[in-house]
């Protein structure tokens, strides 16, 4: 590769107040539901900082363009702890002056009361896990907040942060077309710059996978999606990724970097990272359990349990798996820039996808058609070989 891709930083916070029945992320419920029980904030922050320091030799001279603090529920951190963490990051990496710094948050009152402190610490974008504006659905999803708390959290977040995203789900247990419409209309009433609109899926190794709720049929889910897509577009939101919608120039820069096969440092329990070099692309995985992660950092100075260079044969699928999620796709030149491979290595798959009307025939763009976006998994799988 003649030029390295943009670089981002992902920080994982592995605790939450309650494990949701649909969640397959690396998150661990705090003992007794008490915010400070079950984890040691100072200890974990020190581990994160030490973890970041192990990555510095791999990124010398490169600028970090965005930070995303995900979980779990990162807003369970104290505002003081968040400030300590971000100050340590700024002291160690070349952070872009106006970098997008996102934190995931739940609408519970404990987190909301700390929003002003998070903003002073440097958070400028918050992603709020609302999921639904109906108490009955929130209870079915195992959420710990109610509708009024969600609305209050959004109003306060809009006062403190440059950008706010709302996470919403559809295809919820026994959800009707009318109920799904009411959820979107309530979300739109806040005029947040960004919305994420996800279809509830039953992921392996979750409570819902073992005890599945009664979900709408595929046809009903499709009708909900089409109805709410029309409402979102009418309200001025553009769908720029499978599940992401934004007002003009309000796309999530951090996630765009993922989908364009950019690089990212991943620190924290269970975090994944991707770093490119002129001659290879590497991936790393950290210890998943928080206690084992902190012990590894404290004992060995490193919590990486897997680090490998991707095989050239795997790069096309990895690239297309991400790039095809974007509604506008990516330029064909991006493939070679980010993988170091000539476009010709996927020419047969491109031709087959175009023949099946799954891929746009524009020779300068790798972009799914409307049909390809509808059957995205099938399209992505065509690049496995």
pLDDT class of 109 with cuts at 50, 70, 90 = low
- The enclosing domain of 138 has a CATH number of 3.20.20.70
Q: Would 372 be classed as within a structural domain?
A: yes
Q: What is the pLDDT of residue 110?
A: 65
Q: Taking the CA of residue 365 as centre, how many other CA atoms within 13 Å lie in the half-sphere pointing to its CB?
A: 12
In terms of residue numbers, what domain contains 346? 315-381
Q: What is the pLDDT of residue 20?
A: 87
Span 243-254, pLDDT tens digits: 999 999 999 999
Q: What's the rounded Cα separation, in Å, for the pair 154 and 156?
A: 5
Number of domains making up the chain: 2
Verify that 178 and 104 share a domain, yes or no: yes
Q: What's the rounded Cα separation, in Å, for the pair 69 and 61?
A: 23
Q: What is the pLDDT of residue 205?
A: 85
Q: Which of 258, 273, 289 is the last residue of a domain?
A: 258
Verify that 352 and 231 share a domain, yes or no: no
Verify that 181 and 73 share a domain, yes or no: yes
Verify that 253 and 326 share a domain, yes or no: no
Verify that 63 and 180 share a domain, yes or no: yes
Q: What is the pLDDT of residue 17?
A: 85
Higher per-residue confidence, 33 vs 383: 383
Verify that 212 and 327 share a domain, yes or no: no
Q: What is the pLDDT of residue 32?
A: 55
pLDDT class of 280 with cuts at 50, 70, 90 = very high
Q: Would 193 be classed as within a structural domain?
A: yes
Verify that 127 and 26 share a domain, yes or no: yes
Pairing verdict, β 94-105 and 63-71: parallel
Q: Are 49 and 303 within 8 A, CB to CB?
A: no
Q: Would 297 be classed as within a structural domain?
A: no
Q: What's the rounded Cα separation, in Å, for the pair 30 and 35?
A: 7
Task: Identify any residues that bridge with 285 across adjacent strands, giving them in sequence order.
Answer: 272, 306
Q: Are 180 and 227 within 8 A, CB to CB?
A: yes
Q: Would 186 be classed as within a structural domain?
A: yes
Q: Which of 190, 223, 258 is the last residue of a domain?
A: 258
pLDDT averaged over every residue in the chain: 93
Q: Which of 233, 258, 283 is the last residue of a domain?
A: 258
Verify that 83 and 163 share a domain, yes or no: yes
Task: Identify any residues that bridge with 44 across adjacent strands, giving them in sequence order.
Answer: none
Q: What's the rounded Cα separation, in Å, for the pair 299 and 220?
A: 53
pLDDT class of 263 with cuts at 50, 70, 90 = very high
Q: Tell me the CA distances in angstroms from 162 to 104, 194, 239, 250, 356, one per residue in order.
A: 14, 11, 20, 10, 43
- Residue found by looking up tokens 């710059």 in the block: 193
Span 161-189, pLDDT tens digits: 999 999 999 999 999 999 999 999 999 99
Q: What is the pLDDT of residue 267?
A: 98
Q: Residue 299: pLDDT above 80?
A: yes
Q: Residue 213 region, left (φ>0) first, then alpha (ψ -120 to 50), else beta?
A: beta
pLDDT class of 36 with cuts at 50, 70, 90 = very low
- The enclosing domain of 325 has a CATH number of 1.10.10
Span 317-363, pLDDT tens digits: 999 999 999 999 999 999 999 999 999 999 999 999 999 999 999 98
Span 130-169, pLDDT tens digits: 999 999 999 999 898 999 999 999 999 999 999 999 999 9
Burial class (CB in 10 A: 0-12, 13-18, 19+), 304: middle
pLDDT class of 38 with cuts at 50, 70, 90 = low
Span 204-222, pLDDT tens digits: 888 888 898 999 999 999 9
The average pLDDT across 21-31 equals 82
- DSSP notation for 31-62: GGG-TTTT--HHHHHHHHHHHHHHHGGGSTTP
- DSSP notation for 92-139: HSEEEEEEEEEEEE---HHHHTTHHHHHHHT--EEEEEEE-S-HHHHH
Q: Would 305 be classed as within a structural domain?
A: no
């Amino acid at each position: 590769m003649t030029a390295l891709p943009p670089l981002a930083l992902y920080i994982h916070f592995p605790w939450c107040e309650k494990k949701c029945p649909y969640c397959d992320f690396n998150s661990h419920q705090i003992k007794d539901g008490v915010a400070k029980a079950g984890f040691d904030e100072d200890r974990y922050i020190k581990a994160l900082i030490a973890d970041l320091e192990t990555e510095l030799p791999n990124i010398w001279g490169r600028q970090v363009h965005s930070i995303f603090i995900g979980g779990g529920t990162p807003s369970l951190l104290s505002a003081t702890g968040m400030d300590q963490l971000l100050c340590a990051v700024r002291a160690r990496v070349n952070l872009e002056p106006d970098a997008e710094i996102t934190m995931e948050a739940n609408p519970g009152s404990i987190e909301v009361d700390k929003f002003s402190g998070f903003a002073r610490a440097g958070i400028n974008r918050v992603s709020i896990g609302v999921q639904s504006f109906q108490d009955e659905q929130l209870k079915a999803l195992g959420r710990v907040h109610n509708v009024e708390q969600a609305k209050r959290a959004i109003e306060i977040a809009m006062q403190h942060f440059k950008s706010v995203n709302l996470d919403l789900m559809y295809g919820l247990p026994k959800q009707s077309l009318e109920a799904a419409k009411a959820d979107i209309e309530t979300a739109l009433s806040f005029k947040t710059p960004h919305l994420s609109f996800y279809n509830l899926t039953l992921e392996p190794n979750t409570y819902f996978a073992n005890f599945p709720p009664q979900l709408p049929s595929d046809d009903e889910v499709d009708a909900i999606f089409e109805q709410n897509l029309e409402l979102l577009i009418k309200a001025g939101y553009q769908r720029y990724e499978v599940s992401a919608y934004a007002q003009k120039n309000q796309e999530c820069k951090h996630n765009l970097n993922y989908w364009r096969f950019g690089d990212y440092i991943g620190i924290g329990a269970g975090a994944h990272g991707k770093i490119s070099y002129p001659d290879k692309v590497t991936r790393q995985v950290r210890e998943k359990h928080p206690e084992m992660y902190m012990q590894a950092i404290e004992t060995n100075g490193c919590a990486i349990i897997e680090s490998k260079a991707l095989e050239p044969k795997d790069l096309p699928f990895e690239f297309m798996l991400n790039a095809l999620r974007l509604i506008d796709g990516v330029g064909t030149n991006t493939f070679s820039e980010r993988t170091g491979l000539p476009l010709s290595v996927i020419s047969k798959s491109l031709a087959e996808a175009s023949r099946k009307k799954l891929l746009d025939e524009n020779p300068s763009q790798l972009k799914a058609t409307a049909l390809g976006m509808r059957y995205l998994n099938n399209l992505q799988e065509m690049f496995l070989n």
